[in-house]
Chains A and B, each alone.
Chain A
Amino acid sequence: MVEKSINKNVPEILCSINRFINKVNIPGIAIGDALLIVFFSIMSDRFLSSYNLLSILRNSCTLMIAAVGLTWVILMSQNNVSVGAVVSMAAVMVPILNNKGLPMGIVLVMPMLMGLLVGFINGFLIAKMKFDYWVVTFGTMSLMTGLALVVANGETISTTSKFLNFIGNGKFAGIYIIIWLTAILVSIMLLIQRKTKFGYNIYSIGGSENVAAISGINVVDTRIKVHMISGLLAAIAGMATACMNVAGSPTVGNDYSFNAMAAVVLGGTAFAGGKGGIIGTVFGTLMLRILASGLSMMDIDSTWQKAIIGLVIVTLIVADVLNDQRKAVKGSRRIYRDVI
């Protein structure tokens, strides 16, 4: 983009919204979630029930898995718009493979392999061939969206499987299995992000690819792996939707790319990369789902819901970018004052 001075009269409110979120960091977005819950509880007496809260949690699972995978890509200051297409593809693969009578192991492994493969193609073309990540992931998005429609013949495919139904709708200790699985998956990702060299490298590359490279980090390898993980998690998210519906629709993932991006940014991971992380994304996803649930409890039409959520997301993305720029300018000034 253009190296230009920052316009001083940028909307101050947008910045302060985002500053508020960033100031308290992880608790910030969690407080936001809590405030929303309080707000909707006042607006609708049906909202605050253990049943509804549990269903919000359950509805968050698939998006959360996909968004957590996307978080690392954005942490490395890149992006991936093929998430939604992979979700759709995995969602239709599960019932199709199951209907063919294949063993459950294969039914579960094949979609994951598909996700890894798409992730590898993305990562290889972006990191190794140095193609633009927008073009590449847009290309794979179109490819996979089309393929999902092809294999499903454009229709929702249902299946019968006690196992899939159990995973998608069964409960353990009063909580849906799918929530347990998501919790385990997120915890593993969190451990990798916090404790391993790989996690450190993601932050380093996001902070500055050049610094990472001259510090001896294998940037290409790390980037490819992160894109593969993003593909894998998108595929798992798709499989989860298939389990929950015991059916797969080739258009189920259409909004996932945008929503996942929104969840990541809401959670405080900036497009500029290098800071933020998975915890924020978890709360970001919850916020989106609380918003959707609350709006529908207030009897707001589903098309309006979509438009309102879209506007909220766009506002927050703008706020995020603005705040980043503010910080960049402040940073350069601060150093100047220190030296004096």
Chain B
Amino acid sequence: MTVDESNVILKMTGITKRFPGTLALDKVQLTCERGKVHVLLGENGAGKSTLMKIISGEYQRDEGTVWFNGREVNFTNVRQAMAAGISMIHQELSLLPERTIAQNIYLGHEPEKEGFKGIVDQKKMVTDSKALMDSLGLDMDPQTSVKKLSIAQQQMVEVVKALSQEVRLVIMDEPTSSLTSREINKLFEIVERLKQNGTAIIYISHRMDEIKRIGDSITVMRDGQYIDTVSAAEADLDTLITMMVGRKIQKMYERNYREPGKVIFETDNLCGLRFRDVNIKVREGEIVSLSGLIGAGRTEFAKAVFGIDPIDAGCFKLYGRQINRIDPTNAIKYSMCLLPEDRKKEGLVLQTPIKENLTAACLKKTFKMGILRNKPENEIGEKYVRELRVATPNADKIVGELSGGNQQKVVIGKWLETGCKFLIFDEPTRGIDVGAKCEIYILLDSLVHQGYGILLITSELNEVIGISDRVYVMKDGEITGELTRDELSQDRIMRYAVGEGEVV
């Protein structure tokens, strides 16, 4: 597509960024124009966030050039990028709950009293933030503390914060993921106003309807590489998805469905930290997905069931055993396991070898009478390296040196070795490359045929539709819908996930 050169505010070419063990960005390019919304599209782990962090000064690039506002720039910290007029709305909230709205809006760039350097003008800060919020159509008292706001309101404060200084480029990283439709409309009004003022916007989102609605041009990224830039008006959905995923979706997800067996897991009005009255069941030989927006309470549910978080009320049945209180040790004993959301923090001991991680959940197998035997440990190590095709010369390699996909395989191997038959997988494919994803899907399918029952929590709708037998949708901690395989569609899931009345 054509670009008006005089109007370009940001031009990035040949951006390369390496992290230990991985190439996060490989010669990526991006061009943004004043007064236009540029959508950045790609799966999780495609490198979008890394690219944005390079623009906003959080990371430094290894190679490539960045032109901003007509000059070549090299931001080494966030302050420099901010001074140049770049601000970012982060996906995870970056507010201080103990401080007031006004203090949060002007965090790091509080207005100073005239003639007194370093002295904060508190009055001006309050009136300014009030004026700013009024101009954006938000009605909030700037002196209430942020912890009293709902998540949606906090997200809006985040937006105000990004606009509280002179901006030329605003980066929005999935800003609508926790907003209701009313607030989404408000946000789009703000975006429209910014466009009229000549501000450039980089917009990251997964929601195709949004992209069509506000986007001017679209850049697609995949596995750290630049794929293409197209005009939003001309782009059609299927080509975009194919560009994102790199192949036809049907081929990625292969399932041989079987008749499910008896119920192995059933909850009875389970309530916990951020979910309540959950009633779901999983049968032998089926993959059940728990779908919903980020922050809907799915991970909290999984953690409560596995015994990491407390159960407030209700109970669940596991292989006929009634359970009211549980801890991870007993959960494993009762044949349940949880593949955690954050494999580096929760799933693996990164500094130790593969074989020690594989045996971590069933130490009794390698410690006869409590004393280490090397032979069974090595055998288990070799077995899973071979069977799960972990890319490593041997099982003595330290897990931290493996790539994301191979690390995930080690976590899966750890649970398979315990012999647990009911598996909860929380985001098993987050941040891993497409090849490893396919292998994991094939593995899931074969496990189901061996009689395992799987509860899958994933944020990628394609995945949900591709490999599930049944789907529960969670919204704000409650199950809002159940869909069978025949009823599955992106639209239906989103309808339940956002709340039926609010679908635009």
Task: Name A's B-contacting residues (CB within 8 A).
Answer: 3-6, 8, 195-201, 203-204, 207-208, 210-218, 274-275, 329, 331-336, 338-340
Nearest 3 CB-CB pairings of A with B: A207-B96, A215-B108, A338-B150
CB pair B107 A215 closer than 8 Å: yes
Instruction: Name the residue among A8, A208, A211, A334 with the largest chain B CB count within 10 angstroms.
Output: A211
**Nearest chain B residue, comparing its CB with the CB of A210:** B94
Residues of B within 8 A of A201 (CB): 108
Q: Is B206 an interface residue (CB 8 A)?
A: no
CB pair A195 B78 closer than 8 Å: no
Which of B78, B120, B152 touches A215 (beta carbons < 8 Å)?
B78
Which of B77, B90, B107, B273 touches A204 (beta carbons < 8 Å)?
B107
Task: Name B's A-contacting residues (CB within 8 A).
Answer: 56, 58, 77-79, 82, 88, 90, 94-99, 103, 107-110, 112, 118-120, 122, 147, 149-152, 161, 273-274, 297, 308-310, 476-478
Residues of A within 8 A of B149 (CB): 338
Which of B56, B152, B309, B477 touches A336 (beta carbons < 8 Å)?
B477
CB pair B274 A332 closer than 8 Å: yes
CB pair B107 A211 closer than 8 Å: yes
Residues of B within 8 A of A3 (CB): 308
Residues of B within 8 A of A339 (CB): 150-152, 476
CB pair B108 A212 closer than 8 Å: yes
Residues of A within 8 A of B109 (CB): 215-216
CA–CA, A3 to B58, complex, Å?
28
B260 to chain A, nearest CB (A): 32
Which of A6, A195, A212 touches B310 (beta carbons < 8 Å)?
A6
CB pair B96 A204 closer than 8 Å: yes
CA–CA, A5 to B311, complex, Å?
10
Residues of A within 8 A of B79 (CB): 216, 218
Which of B56, B151, B273, B309 touches A338 (beta carbons < 8 Å)?
B151
- Given that A197-B112, A216-B79 are known contacts, is A211 also in contact with B274, CB under 8 Å in the complex? no
Residues of A within 8 A of B58 (CB): 214
CB pair A203 B99 closer than 8 Å: yes
CA–CA, A280 to B231, complex, Å?
59
CA–CA, A275 to B151, complex, Å?
21
- Given that A6-B310, A215-B78, A217-B108 are known contacts, is A204 also in contact with B150, CB under 8 Å in the complex? no
CA–CA, A217 to B97, complex, Å?
17
CB pair A214 B94 closer than 8 Å: yes
**Nearest chain A residue, comparing its CB with the CB of B106:** A200
Which of A6, A274, A340 touches B477 (beta carbons < 8 Å)?
A340
Residues of B within 8 A of A208 (CB): 94, 96
Residues of A within 8 A of B88 (CB): 214
Residues of B within 8 A of A332 (CB): 273-274
CB pair B78 A216 closer than 8 Å: yes
CA–CA, A8 to B77, complex, Å?
44
Which of A210, A214, A331, A340 touches B147 (beta carbons < 8 Å)?
A331
CA–CA, A198 to B116, complex, Å?
13
Which of B90, B120, B274 touches A196 (beta carbons < 8 Å)?
B120
CB pair B97 A207 closer than 8 Å: yes
B92 to chain A, nearest CB (A): 9
CB pair A200 B110 closer than 8 Å: yes
CB pair A335 B108 closer than 8 Å: no
CA–CA, A231 to B234, complex, Å?
64
Residues of B within 8 A of A334 (CB): 147
Residues of A within 8 A of B151 (CB): 335, 338-339
Residues of A within 8 A of B97 (CB): 207, 331
A218 to chain B, nearest CB (A): 7
**Nearest chain B residue, comparing its CB with the CB of A340:** B476
Identify 12 residue pairs between A and B in the complex whose beta-carbon atoms are under 8 Å apart, listed by A's number. A195-B120, A197-B110, A198-B118, A200-B103, A210-B94, A212-B108, A215-B108, A215-B161, A331-B97, A336-B274, A336-B297, A340-B476
CB pair B310 A207 closer than 8 Å: no
A168 to chain B, nearest CB (A): 33
A205 to chain B, nearest CB (A): 10
CA–CA, A54 to B88, complex, Å?
55
CA–CA, A188 to B481, complex, Å?
60
Residues of B within 8 A of A338 (CB): 149-151
B329 to chain A, nearest CB (A): 12
Residues of B within 8 A of A8 (CB): 310
**Nearest chain B residue, comparing its CB with the CB of A339:** B476
Residues of B within 8 A of A214 (CB): 56, 58, 78, 88, 90, 94
Residues of A within 8 A of B103 (CB): 200, 203
B309 to chain A, nearest CB (A): 5
Which of A5, A6, A207, A210 touches B99 (beta carbons < 8 Å)?
A207
**Nearest chain A residue, comparing its CB with the CB of B296:** A339
CB pair B308 A329 closer than 8 Å: no
CB pair A333 B273 closer than 8 Å: yes
CB pair B309 A5 closer than 8 Å: yes
Residues of A within 8 A of B122 (CB): 195
Residues of A within 8 A of B310 (CB): 5-6, 8
CB pair A5 B308 closer than 8 Å: yes
A193 to chain B, nearest CB (A): 11
B408 to chain A, nearest CB (A): 20
CA–CA, A214 to B55, complex, Å?
12
Residues of A within 8 A of B94 (CB): 208, 210-211, 214-215
A337 to chain B, nearest CB (A): 9
**Nearest chain A residue, comparing its CB with the CB of B161:** A215
Instruction: Name the residue among A8, A197, A329 with the largest chain B CB count within 10 angstroms.
Output: A197
CB pair B120 A197 closer than 8 Å: yes
CB pair A204 B118 closer than 8 Å: no
A169 to chain B, nearest CB (A): 36
**Nearest chain A residue, comparing its CB with the CB of B180:** A339
